[in-house]
Amino acid sequence: MSSSAVGKDESAPGGCLHTPMCLMWLALVVCLLAGATTAQESPNVPLQATIVVFSTNTGEDRVTFAFNRAVPEKEAVERFHRLMKFGGWQGKLLRVRTESPRTEAGNTLPPLTDVIGRAQQVIDRNSGGLPVEPFLRAFSDLDYFELYFFVQGDMPFQGLREWSTPDLQIRLIQTPGVYRYQVRILRHAPDVDLRVPFLQPVQQTTAEPERKESASGWRIAGWALISAALGTLAYLIMRWAMRHSSVPASVKRHESTREG
């Protein structure tokens, strides 16, 4: 296991009490124990990255992401700054880390890389939308990734809910305070169209059938609570995804060696 730090690690064990990172863990545990994870299935492709934005409505948001493989530090740093450029945000990179997770049986999986940073007002609550497009552009080389927005407090959400074109597919799974986007990039070319609506007000329809809770939600919630002091939320979700994925181990090993 190896790690590389950039700037001050504000999520290190013993130093996170009452910080936004600890609030993020608390939000994850609370929302999942309340049944936030639903029985909707992910696309039948390997999850390559998990991105998390945590907003406390203080003007400075946390931005963290994790890959399903080891990524060179230079590449991870460049991606963070590219994301800041696409979003027009002033950001600061706090840490880059690479670590090998273990399965429930104690076997070591290929190493994963995660990035922790912060940026000024990634989420504008008054707008009613969420900035999905900058993340599409910054991670357009991937086939499938998930984007989480954790929003504390009230927000009159009127943002993107679902989008499908020959170039990409996006689906929102929304629960109170948590906006989870499943993103598939279907085509990789210079002319790929990654434009999506910032606002997409919901149309009046008949009530949707009640969704059932997923047992996996309870597993990840418990694991999150135990592992809260060990790393970032994106890294945690990615580790859980690799542990509980139905994709054969040989496929996961192949995917872990792919270049982004």
What pLDDT, on the 0 to 100 scale, is given for residue 21?
A: 44
Is residue 117 one of the residues assigned to a domain?
A: yes
Is residue 118 one of the residues assigned to a domain?
A: yes
pLDDT tens digits, one per residue of 2-16: 444 454 444 443 344
Domains in the chain, number = 1
Is residue 106 one of the residues assigned to a domain?
A: yes
Quickly count: other Cβ atoms within 10 Å of residue 219's Cβ.
Answer: 16
Residue type, 156: P
Tokens coding 32: 């999942």
Tokens coding 125: 């609550």
What pLDDT, on the 0 to 100 scale, is given for residue 159?
A: 95
Lowest mean pLDDT of 70-74, 106-110, 187-191, name the range: 106-110
pLDDT tens digits, one per residue of 194-209: 999 999 987 755 545 4
Domain containing 29 equals 2-197+213-253
What pLDDT, on the 0 to 100 scale, is given for residue 240?
A: 64
Tokens coding 63: 């931005």
> Three-state SS for 213?
strand
pLDDT at 220 over 90: no
What pLDDT, on the 0 to 100 scale, is given for residue 192?
A: 96
pLDDT tens digits, one per residue of 221-230: 333 333 333 3
What pLDDT, on the 0 to 100 scale, is given for residue 235?
A: 63
pLDDT at 81 over 60: yes
206 against 185, higher pLDDT: 185
pLDDT at 151 over 80: yes
Is residue 202 one of the residues assigned to a domain?
A: no
3-state helix, strand, coil split of the chain in percent (to 5) is 30, 25, 45
Is residue 259 one of the residues assigned to a domain?
A: no
CB 149 within 8 A of CB 178: yes
| Enclosing H/E stretch for 240 | helix 233-244
Arithmetic mean of pLDDT over the chain:
74
Is residue 258 one of the residues assigned to a domain?
A: no
Q: Which of 94, 66, 38, 37 is nearest to 223 (CA)?
A: 37
Is residue 205 one of the residues assigned to a domain?
A: no
Q: What confidence category does residue 51 fall into, taking pLDDT thresholds of 50, 70 and 90?
A: very high
What pLDDT, on the 0 to 100 scale, is given for residue 33?
A: 38
Is residue 11 one of the residues assigned to a domain?
A: yes
pTM of the model: 0.71
